[in-house]
Amino acid sequence: MRKEYDFDGGRRGAPVAQQGKSRITILLDKDILEAFRGQAKDSGRGYQTAINQALREYLEREKLETVLRRVLREELEEGGLSGAHP
């Protein structure tokens, strides 16, 4: 390894794309962003990773809630949860 490098003729390249991720611009409330940055600082991971995980958990919960509502609706329609026995 050299002691010195000459970067005078160097040019900055395009950012390296993350596999499976998309770069976007999003506007968030300051308090939300500060909360995620605080959590990230405490946990030692990046705040963008924390936001991504929170969004993923929300989507999973919404899927589960949709399935549970459908199952409960079907059971109620069939009388399965009404307490009456056939």
Cβ-defined contacts of 39-47 (< 8 Å, 24+): none
| pLDDT tens figures, 57-72 | 999 998 988 989 988 8
Alpha carbons within 13 A on the beta-carbon side of 70: 6
The DSSP line for 63-83 is HHHHHHHHHHHHHHHHTTTSS
| pLDDT tens figures, 21-62 | 888 899 999 999 999 999 998 898 999 999 999 999 999 998
Task: Give the model's pLDDT for residue 79.
Answer: 81
The confidence band for 18, taking pLDDT boundaries of 50, 70 and 90, is: confident
- In angstroms, rounded to a whole number, what is the distance separating the alpha carbons of residues 85 and 18? 56
Output the pTM of the full model. Answer: 0.59
- In angstroms, rounded to a whole number, what is the distance separating the alpha carbons of residues 73 and 36? 37
